[in-house]
Structure 1
Amino acid sequence: MWDDRSNADFEIRCGNKKFKIHKRIIRAHSDVLAKACDNRSFEASILDLKAHPYNGNLNNLGDGDDPEIVEEMVHFFYHLELSPKARGMYRCATDEELSGHSLILLARIYVLAEKYFIEALKAKVLHHFSYMMRCPIHPELVEACHIIYKKTVEPAGEHGLRTTVAKALARDWSTSKKSGEHDKLLQEIPELAFRVLKELPDSPCRHGYCFGEGHVAVLRTAAPGPSW
């Protein structure tokens, strides 16, 4: 069907990009987009999404849609896989190879998938993000975490990107705690610091001590309930 999109019965537009797409493909992946599709007459089979490119600005996420990420969504609808650009070279042998892949792009795709309730796309992003987090000091980790913790939600009991990041940092804590970037990140995002703490069952914090002087205040203000 990907090669037959010229005959598709619907079109999604975002900024200067136009994507021919079959209605049945939309219905198979997103009830939200399907309703928007079904609310249009046969003569007006076009969904115009407000374009709001990211351009490195967190405030640009969520209000509109980034044409680049809409294109990633359409690619997934037909291939059930991320684009080569988003997934990178999956079988990476070294941290250097992993660090060449974009956590920021994956986080942005996740924001859109969450917005339109595309659960299969969320799961695919989680899979690749977890793999790339094998590199504990990824150059895009800080910005990706700010996107994840400011622009996504994670209901109790759900394992989303917030939990994925916290588990990865806790797993590689011996490496992470030596990084000034990680120290700054945990201070800037109290919820992440608290989640990392929860993933460290033998952490000294549970016995009245803390990761470092900077983290003490963060964790004490972020943690609900128990005293430290």
Structure 2
Amino acid sequence: MEPKPIEAFGASLQGYYNNKCLSDVLVRCGDQEFAVHSLVLFCHSDYFKRQLTGPWKESEDKTIEIKDFDANIVGAMLRFLYSFDYDVPPNTRTMIFHAQVYQIGDKYGIETLKKHAINKFESVVNEAEVDAGFASTLADTISIVYSTTPSGDRGLRDIVVQSSCTHFEYLTSEASFKEVLGRNEDFSADLVSLIYESWGKFTWRSSLGLSRTKANILSHLRLSADITG
């Protein structure tokens, strides 16, 4: 069966990623440069459209400098614009990579990229083996997520909080996770709220095992309120 016209067009478009043929914009990140097509940028991002059509240096030079992201993240964003997908480079902490792709999508107003990054991020978090490496990576990811997203943006925050709640007993045995609990008040507050909502007041009072968990929460987060009411 022949591909549908839209599928054939999409497959053809992928071939123009970082392709100088008909390229009219240069995206530069550090010492790496990407050949880009302004029409593709315009279709995905009003931010880039304003940069390239407004009274800015970029509109004259047709060059966009990106200094606050790694070149691999920029490359992932640009590849997505041409193919609606991106790959994670080898020897990269996948969870953190997806969080950073979400961050760049948010900065440049690419909602489809944000949704795609969330889906990939959630799959990685949910399918990961829960061990010391997971705890360390999750802790680093929590720091990134909570420092790069506003409190009202729950996309990545809810995922890391839910995973932390699910694996709380194990995670609180790992120094890396305990450290992020102690220094990140917003995350700690979100986690306590979810645990409390999930297990409820009756569970706190009636289960000796979970009472020990409550003691852990109080110890790590130094809560002064009596959450059992």
Q: Which TM class, normalised by the smaller chain length? A: 0.7 to 0.9
Shift of 1:74: 0.6
**Residue identity in the other structure for 1:215:** H
- Residues 138-217 of structure 1 correspond to what in structure 2 (within 5 A)? 138=134, 139-155=136-152, 158-200=153-195, 201=197, 202=199, 210-212=214-216, 213-217=218-222
Shift of 1:146: 0.9
Compared CA separation, residues 215 and 118, structure 1 to 2 (3 A): same
Q: Matches of 1:109 and 1:211 in 2, distance apart?
A: 37
Q: Matches of 2:187 and 2:167 in 1, distance apart?
A: 15
What TM-score, normalized to structure 1? 0.73
Shift of 1:150: 1.1
Gaps of 5+ in 1: 52-63, 89-99
Gaps of 5+ in 2: 1-12, 206-210
What TM-score, normalized to structure 2? 0.72
Compared CA separation, residues 75 and 211, structure 1 to 2 (3 A): farther
**Residue identity in the other structure for 1:107:** A
Higher helix share: 2
Paired position in structure 2 for 1:115: 107
Alpha carbons 1:102, 1:140 under 8 Å: kept: no
Q: Larger radius of gyration, structure 1 or 2? A: 2
Residue among 133, 146, 150 paired with 2:125: 133
- Residues 1-228 of structure 1 correspond to what in structure 2 (within 5 A)? 1-4=13-16, 5-6=19-20, 7-39=22-54, 44=60, 46-51=62-67, 64-85=68-89, 101-134=93-126, 135=128, 136-137=130-131, 138=134, 139-155=136-152, 158-200=153-195, 201=197, 202=199, 210-212=214-216, 213-217=218-222, 219-220=223-224
Alpha carbons 1:13, 1:46 under 8 Å: kept: no
Give CA deviations for 1:91-129 in whole Å, capped at 9, x if unaligned: xxxxxxxxx842222222222111112111111111111
Alpha carbons 2:32, 2:71 under 8 Å: kept: yes
Q: Matches of 1:170 and 1:27 in 2, distance apart?
A: 40
Compared CA separation, residues 211 and 29, structure 1 to 2 (3 A): farther
Give CA deviations for 1:16-43 in whole Å, capped at 9, x if unaligned: 1211112121112111111112226999
Q: Matches of 1:65 and 1:177 in 2, distance apart?
A: 31
Alpha carbons 2:161, 2:191 under 8 Å: kept: yes
Task: Give the paired residue count.
Answer: 198
Provide the aligned C-alpha RMSD in A: 3.2
